[in-house]
């Protein structure tokens, strides 16, 4: 079954983001460190139009640190962007975000021809204007796919729980603007996808991560896709987690074996596909196979 999830609230949220982006100084794009490619929103690139962007590879605790470093190097090649990580035990805080966002704004301004306003002839007024320019309110908008950890990061930056968080997509329903201090404002936004998930392999990875509402996916399809992927790329981790003597060649064979081993069976002894699918997907989401990154950056020269 092709995966697609673009409910009305996302369309609305995308329109609302596009409407305020002109007033935003730095866009903070939160990505899933386990799948930085699949979790990159192509609409955002269009919307951003070269505005400074800080990318946060979040849930880095669930990703392979060596591959995360490669991704950071890959993203840092892009002009007017910076990339960093955040994780459960080492969350990015206000100091880091303000420091990096400030750096990006200075870089962006250095590339601009800023005409100094003509002197008003009144020294006090000129000083007030200069002060206002220096103390301009800066706006940061936090964006990203559903359930990637935007609100968690916003709360961490603010040092208190202002935004509701939860382990399911579409927890945040509308924009929320909060003052961090005299100079900085933060805007939390609802998680958004885009109308057509053209790369269906990437869509399945998103479904595995928990970015797509459970009612919009077939658990068994996602589990079959995931079992095949894990068999090909992480056979040792699979075998270790489930203590299996050997691994079958196909995703279906693997799920059958897992169902037998874990008693995911119906009363009549048939395999309970839903139950075994949930088991595999939940284990991945909880990081029970150990840190695991499903995508690598393109090869660099
Ligand atoms: N392991 C791990 N989990 C995290 C991390 N950051 C956030 N989470 C969890 O991810 C889930 C989603 O977090 P939210 O902050 O609600 O995500 P969101 O992007 O605001 O989600 P929506 O508003 O629904 O789009 C919650 O269960 C968080 O506890 C992290 O760095 N590591
Ligand atoms: Mg949220």
Query: What pLDDT, on the 0 to 100 scale, is given for residue 36?
Result: 98
Burial of 75 (0-12, 13-18, 19+ CB in 10 A): buried
Is residue 172 within 6 Å of ligand 1 at its C-beta?
A: yes
- Residue with the smallest CA separation from ligand 1 atom 3 is 59
Diameter over CA atoms, the chain: 91
Going from the Cα of 110 to the center of ligand 2, the distance in angstroms, rounded, reads: 33
Going from the Cα of 210 to the center of ligand 1, the distance in angstroms, rounded, reads: 10
| 10-residue stretch averages of pLDDT, the chain, 301 residues long | 94 96 97 98 91 98 98 96 97 97 94 71 83 82 98 97 95 95 96 96 98 96 98 96 92 96 95 98 97 92 61
Helix runs in the chain, H state only: 8-20, 42-48, 65-75, 94-110, 123-134, 150-158, 200-209, 219-233, 235-242, 251-262, 273-285
Residues 6+ apart with CB under 8 A from 7: 170
Is residue 165 within 6 Å of ligand 1 at its C-beta?
A: yes
Q: What pTM was computed for the model?
A: 0.93
- Residue with the smallest CA separation from ligand 1 atom 1 is 59
Residues 254-296 pLDDT 10s: 999 999 999 999 999 999 999 999 999 999 999 999 999 999 9
Query: Can you tell me the distance from the alpha carbon of 230 to that of 207, in angstroms, rounded to the nearest whole number?
Result: 15
Query: What pLDDT, on the 0 to 100 scale, is given for residue 301?
Result: 61
Q: Please give the mean pLDDT across all residues of the chain.
A: 94
CA distances from 135 to 124, 129, 152, 181, 298 (A): 16, 10, 28, 11, 40
Query: What is the DSSP secondary structure assignment for residue 288, as one 8-state letter?
Result: T
Beta bridge partners of 185: 139, 179
Ligand nearest to the CA of 169: 1
Residues 101-111 pLDDT 10s: 999 999 999 87
Going from the Cα of 53 to the center of ligand 1, the distance in angstroms, rounded, reads: 20
Residues 6+ apart with CB under 8 A from 4: 196, 197, 203, 216
Query: Can you tell me the distance from the alpha carbon of 31 to that of 22, in angstroms, rounded to the nearest whole number?
Result: 22
Is residue 150 within 6 Å of ligand 1 at its C-beta?
A: yes
Provide the b/e sequence for 117-127 (b: ≥16 CB within 10 Å). Answer: eeeeeeeeeee
Which residue out of 84, 158, 165 has the highest number of ligand 1 atoms within 8 Å of its CB and is therefore the one to mutate? 165
- Residue with the smallest CA separation from ligand 1 atom 26 is 167
Ligand nearest to the CA of 62: 1
CB atoms within 10 A of CB 205: 23
Residues 210-234 pLDDT 10s: 999 999 999 999 999 999 999 999 9
Is residue 41 within 6 Å of ligand 1 at its C-beta?
A: no
Is residue 40 within 6 Å of ligand 1 at its C-beta?
A: no
Query: What is the DSSP secondary structure assignment for residue 189, as one 8-state letter?
Result: -
Is residue 169 within 6 Å of ligand 1 at its C-beta?
A: yes
Is residue 146 within 6 Å of ligand 1 at its C-beta?
A: yes
């Amino acid at each position: 079954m092709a995966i697609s999830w673009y409910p009305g609230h996302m369309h609305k949220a995308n329109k609302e983001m596009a409407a305020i982006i002109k007033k935003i100084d730095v866009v903070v794009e939160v990505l899933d460190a386990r799948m930085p490619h699949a979790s990159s929103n192509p609409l955002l690139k269009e919307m951003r139009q070269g505005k400074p962007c800080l990318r946060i590879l979040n849930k880095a605790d669930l990703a392979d640190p060596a591959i995360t470093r490669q991704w950071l190097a890959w993203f840092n090649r892009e002009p007017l962007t910076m990339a960093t990580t955040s994780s459960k035990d080492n969350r990015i805080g206000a100091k880091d975000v303000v420091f990096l966002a400030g750096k990006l704004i200075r870089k962006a301004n250095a590339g601009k021809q800023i005409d100094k306003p003509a002197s008003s002839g009144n020294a006090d007024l000129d000083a007030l204007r200069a002060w206002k320019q220096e103390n301009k309110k800066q706006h940061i908008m936090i964006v990203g796919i559903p359930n990637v950890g935007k609100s968690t990061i916003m709360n961490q930056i603010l040092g208190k729980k202002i935004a509701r968080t939860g382990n399911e997509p579409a927890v945040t329903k509308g924009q929320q603007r909060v003052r961090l201090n005299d100079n900085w404002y933060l805007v939390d936004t609802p998680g958004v996808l885009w109308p057509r998930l053209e790369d269906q392999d990437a869509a399945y990875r998103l479904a595995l991560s928990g970015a797509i509402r459970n009612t919009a996916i077939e658990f068994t399809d996602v589990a079959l896709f995931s079992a095949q992927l894990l068999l090909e790329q992480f056979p040792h981790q699979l075998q270790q987690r489930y203590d299996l003597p050997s691994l079958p060649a196909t995703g279906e064979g693997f799920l059958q074996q897992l169902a037998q081993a874990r008693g995911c069976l119906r009363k009549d002894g048939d395999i309970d596909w839903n139950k075994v699918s949930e088991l595999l997907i939940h284990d991945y989401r909880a990081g029970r196979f150990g840190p695991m990154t499903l995508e690598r950056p393109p090869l660099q020269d």
